[in-house]
Structure 1
Amino acid sequence: MVSATGADAAGAHARGVRAADTKPVVTLSEQQAGKGGEITVKGSGWRPDTLLMMLICGRSTPDRGVIGGTNSCANAEGRAVTTGADGGFSKKMPVAEPPVPCPCVVHVATVTGEQVLTDAVFVVAGHPVAALPEETEGGRLAVLATTRLEGDSGILTWFGAPPARHLVFTVGNLGSAPVKDPVFQVGTAHGVFAPQWEERQWRGTIESGRKAQIKLPVELTAGAHGGYQVSLKYGGKVLAEQPWGVGRPWGVTLFWILLCVVVPAAVFRIGMAIVDKVRPRSSRTPVRAGRHRHPQPADASAKLPRLRRAPEPAVSPPAPTVTTATLPWFTPDSAPPENRPTTKGHS
């Protein structure tokens, strides 16, 4: 009885492990189509109510994944789909040519939460095909020290320029063969969204048992702000993660505030200038530049009230001048003496 119970428990545990390790499945309505066509993508075994992104990617195989990250995919023609309660979906998507040669796949990956992805082989008819780069065998890299972000934001970042840093880390070669020009993948994730991976190649050789310090550039989109997570992947495994807090570009906010103030003021001045031009005006009234004056009518003085003038004081005419004519035979010396009384007595 005990052994049977133990066997049942072991079987249940094995079934649980197999269910947990089950990879989501993606099937295509057609395995080959040309640009401009359309295919139907169906999936099962995904997490319920999960947002997925479907892309046609070049230089990719289901075994090695998408080499170069989403830079190898036709991102503009991608489609988003949400899984149902049973973890399945069905969605049509247009056929587009990726920016790199085939082999190609239909790449389906989660957008939010833990990253889960699946690739289905697909042939884009008429698109070039090229061999994949050779894999380095024998070398195995591991991060030996804590990663960090170096760099600082300039004045342009304050006005919305893309924030940029360098991801600095130290790796060691734990394998038996040297690793030459390793290709890393750097992913940036914002909030609950899955990382967006970009390929970064480091030029150099790391001998077996040696270590090296590596700096890889990391850049966000213009105007990015908030909390970000920078991840480092090599050989399909995530080696390290580093948080990155990006400040808000307040210069952009200041620019819009000034724009909302300056533009209405300029429009108002232009409107007043136009009104001043089309307003009728008398030709006799001069208008000084830069001043708005209302024209006065030519007969404005005629409408003013007449003021009565105060009466002037009467002026008496001047007295006539009497001129005494002098006779020619009479002079003052010849005038007769006046009769004056004398003090003498009568004789």
Structure 2
Amino acid sequence: MRKLLLAAVALTLALAPGTAARASGLVATLSANVAKPGETVRVSGEGWTPGKLLQFVTCGEGGLTGSAACDTRSGLATPVRADGKFVVDLQIGTPPKDCPCVVHIAEVQGTTDPVNLPISITGLAVGTIPKTATAVRELAVQEVRLTGGTAAAWFGARDQLQLTYTVRNPTAVGLNSATVQVRLGGGGDDNIFHQEVVENLAPGQSRTFTVPVELPLAAFGKYVVSADVSGLAPIRVSHNAYPWGLILINAVGISLIVWGLLRRYGRRRALRDLNPADAMLPAVVRLGSLGAYLVFDDAPGSRRLRRHAGAQLSLDNLRTLIGQGNGPGAGDSVLDLDALGHVLARRYPRSISLMEEER
């Protein structure tokens, strides 16, 4: 007899054009009251509190036994528009408990009673609703903190953060078999990286969840960490990850390169009009008898001067300069050989000693 009654209820729902509910001035409607798991049903409503965040989820056992009977994976949330209306397309899930099934609509952190819209889900078993079951419809968020961070993250290394998430059960019944899910979104990715089962959260009791959060290598931009307990008490906190150390190093490196190029350009410009006669002696020495300049290696712009000269001092001219040649001017040294000997003795004492020994 009981099975026949449940079948009659399901048949009545199937024949209805849509499912509507009205409670305390709140109106909610389903576009269809029969669907398969994975199909999309439009849910619309009016008369709700503007700006309130609503949660939509497919539940078994009439939606009266709490989140343990709901398919939270297919749930979604949306805010109420300014005119008190909402329209969402909900994907019908597969509740972990038997039907009668409903689309459960509840305010997140609100005081308004939830609305359950009956729906027949093809392929799911139909059972009975436990008489003693009472749904937990609300969890209060007491604390949310995202702390931590390492100095190495300034240089593109993986960053280590910590999420502290505290919720309280303000209802008169305990919460069991709920699931905490923590997601990380950013850098084109949004995934669940932590799940934890909540058992025995008694009325008025609080529970704190401490979850390590790891940002990827070379994280750049805004990362959002979100969490909820089976769709209840959702939170979102953000963290800005920018490798300022790498940016600073690159900026300093670019500045040094630019400074070096400007300095090189300035030196070349200054040497462009350099007169060898005005160069610091003895780096450049004018030799009038030869009609040339003697350029030492440490002379400013020596490479440029030699490149413009396009020639080198011949061995015969060098001998003439030091007074050892046989041509004109032989014996008339234009160098102070004694001073040159003293300089060489100070700079290369070992070489001078060897030369004296050979003599």
Greater share of helix: 2
The structure with the largest alpha-carbon Rg is 1
The question of a shared fold, defined as TM-score above 0.5 by the shorter chain, is answered with no
The TM-score with structure 1 as length reference comes to: 0.39
Relative CO higher for 1 or 2, CA cutoff 8 Å, sep ≥ 6?
1
